[in-house]
Amino acid sequence: MTTSIDALKEKGRRLRILSLKATTEAGSGHPSSCLSAADLISVIFFHEMQFDPRDPRNPANDRFILSKGHAAPLLWAAYAEAGIIDEKDVLTLRRLDSILEGHPTPRIRWVDVATGSLGQGLSVGLGNSFAAKLDSLPFNTYALLGDGECAEGQVWEAAALASYYKASNLYAIVDVNGLGQSGRTMDQFDVNRFADKFRAFGWFTQTVDGHNYDEILNAFDVFRRDGGTQPRALLAKTFKGKGVSLLENREGWHGKAIPKQDLPKALAELDKPLGPNEFVPKPRTGFSVTPFEGKLDIAVTRKPGESAATREAYGDAVVKIAEKNAHVVALDGDTKNSTFSEKFAKAYPARFFEMFIAEQNMVGTATGLAARGKIPFVSTFAAFMTRACDQIRMAGVSQSNVKFCGSHAGISIGEDGPSQMGLEDLAMFRPIPGSVILYPSDAVSAERVVMEAARHRGICYIRMSRPKTAILYSNDEQFPIGGSKILRKSANDRATVVAAGITVHEALKAASQLEREGIAIRILDAYSVKPLDGPGILKAAQETGGRIIVVEDHYEQGGLGDAVLEVVGNQARVVRLAVREIPRSGPPEALMEKYGISSSHIVAAVMSF
């Protein structure tokens, strides 16, 4: 044992004291949720984990994820006790100028992925676990969960997948303190019930008293000895506020700091040292991961006259970039034959992860992979991206590098009906600060935007269509983020049609119809929905009488129309064509006609000017 049991107890005491001081100083926070887990954290940080306190980027460091993010002060205290930050830094908790926020965020570089929306940490841990295997690294990942957050289904999605993939380097430590925010939890102190659940999902489980160091230490020994290829769950019975009688196992104290005047009394209960204050780190050395160097480029070789769905081109392109960059991985939620990520699965089976029908965990796992330097491409139907909206939001807070690829966007999917139609996906991705949204209209632009997404550091969403579409661009055309393309242009254009994806083809049809009547229009392919090419759109508008028609296969709000208004302001008259009601099942063309986004509606809009 590197650290003596008395030293571990002393670390537990010090973690408690710092958690209390920091939250009282901040005047808010969750001290009682820190105290239930202090002994578990002491063992995890100061006995179990191998890491270099001087180097958060050491690729062989064991990783820790505080899934119960509201216990952040405990994490900051652990960093202080590990010598990573100063004790006085912990007292800056929750200040506007502090990197130690109310819930963990990557503003401190020891945190990879933000937590605080509950039930997400285990998925992130699974992503770490996958990365360890991909890079042949010996590190383990430890995720500390609250009992309350185990009500989140995502925990069980992660549990099922971790077992399926034999993630024996993944530990779930559940702090079963029996108290939620607003009352007793569903299963209260029944650690055996939690163990039954994890066991049914294929995990190796043990139950302990989470304040008994002998039991906790022994459990980790048993995991090492008997865990086999199973992921490991430790169900620890604890008390919220353990060690301070004001808080211990009392309702009404969730998320409340001890008032300043009561702090001395609380600290007095913790004033006796329990052992030496010592910690000897045991970093792993000699491990490295080879980074990708150079500029990612791919060759596009579409034939003129060819017809291909953008989703199919996605499958082709992701294979090409994977060939160049070994850190590119792909995940899919049992739709790989529709999103064409199966091309990746066949070409690079070890770097492809079938995540089954569990989109929340898929996104969380991708975020974990991205945190370990991978470039994950996550694909499913655009409609089902909404299943992971909160996880995508949190990937945003984490400023992650996940690439989201939603196929079957819009009503143009046809007969499957509204449940399968992605009509609010742009509205979901646009608000995320820094997000990039790309929406190609043909196979060439589809391949190019996949390449651009892989090059870009940050969250990208690529929107893809189901139907086959004609090739519009030459193979060497480039599609930089923030650009746009003019597909039709004359000196006499009466209006600019701003289209993207499938509606570009409707716009071209409309232009041909109008041409026969002697009317010219400009067509702008807004393949980069965010950032949108504001100057390009404004210039086109100015040259076409200040008239814009936006046509999109998306609901009226939150999509391309809103984006165009954002850049155009009052500098043009904008007519919007979008889906305005719950659509029905039917053939794609009939649906586009019925819901007002077909060529005939574009013609009518032009004529209305």
Which residues are tagged catalytic?
359
Q: Is 388 helix (H, G, I), strand (E, B) or coil?
A: helix
| Cα distance between residue 194 and residue 215, in whole Å | 18
Decide: 491 and 544 in contact? Cβ < 8 Å.
no
Q: Three-state secondary structure along 301-333? A: CCCCCCEEEHHHHHHHHHHHHHHHCCCEEEEEC
Q: Are 290 and 20 in contact (CB under 8 A)?
A: no
Of 84 and 426, nearer to its own copies (C-beta) is 426
Residue 458 CB, shortest distance to its own copies, in Å, is 12
Q: Which is nearer to its own copies, 118 or 449 (CB)?
A: 118
The CB-of-99 to its own copies minimum distance in angstroms stands at: 9
CB atoms within 10 A of CB 298: 18
Quick one: CA dihedral 474, 480, 481, 483, positive or negative? negative
The CA distance from 604 to 261, in Å, is 72
**Letter string b/e over residues 576-600, b meaning 16 or more CB atoms within 10 A of that residue's CB:** bbbbeeebeebebeebbbebbbbbe
Q: How far lies 425's CA from each of 45, 378, 428, 463, 546, in Å?
A: 40, 14, 5, 8, 29
Under DSSP, the state recorded for 601 is: H
Residue closer to its own copies, measured from CB, 61 or 177 = 177
Minimum CB separation of residue 571 from its own copies in Å reads 7
Instruction: Decide whether 9 or 250 has the Cβ nearer to its own copies.
Output: 250
145 is written with which tokens?
Answer: 């969960």
Residue 211, classed as helix, strand or coil, is coil
Closest CB to its own copies among residues 107, 224: 107
Could you count the other beta carbons within 10 Å of the beta carbon of residue 493? Answer: 22
State the nearest-atom distance from the C-beta of 431 to its own copies, in Å. 4
Q: Which H or E run contains 369?
A: helix 359-371
- How many CB atoms are located within 10 Å of the residue 608 CB? 10
Whole-number minimum distance, CB 59 to its own copies, in Å?
A: 26
User: Closest CB to its own copies among 13 and 601?
Assistant: 601
Of 54 and 107, which has the nearer Cβ to its own copies? 107
In terms of CB distance, is 249 or 585 closer to its own copies? 585
Complex with its own copies: residue 285 or 570, whichever CB lies closer:
570
Q: Which amino acid is present at 351?
A: R
Smallest gap from residue 471 Cβ to its own copies (A)? 26
CB 579 within 8 Å of CB 595:
yes
CB 348 within 8 A of CB 374: no
Spatial contact of 173 and 40, defined as CB atoms under 8 Å apart: yes
In this structure, the chain runs to a length of 609
Closest distance between its own copies and the C-beta of residue 243, in Å? 24
Shortest Cβ 549–its own copies spacing (Å): 13
- At its nearest, how many Å lie between its own copies and the CB of residue 474? 33
List Cα–Cα distances, 41 to 46, 68, 87, 402, in angstroms. Answer: 8, 12, 17, 29
Q: Which is nearer to its own copies, 364 or 536 (CB)?
A: 364
Distances (CA, A) of 80 to 237, 263, 274, 297, 599: 26, 20, 18, 44, 63
Min. distance of Cβ 335 from its own copies in angstroms?
6
Residue 245 vs residues 190, 241, 270, 304: alpha-carbon distances, Å: 23, 8, 11, 77
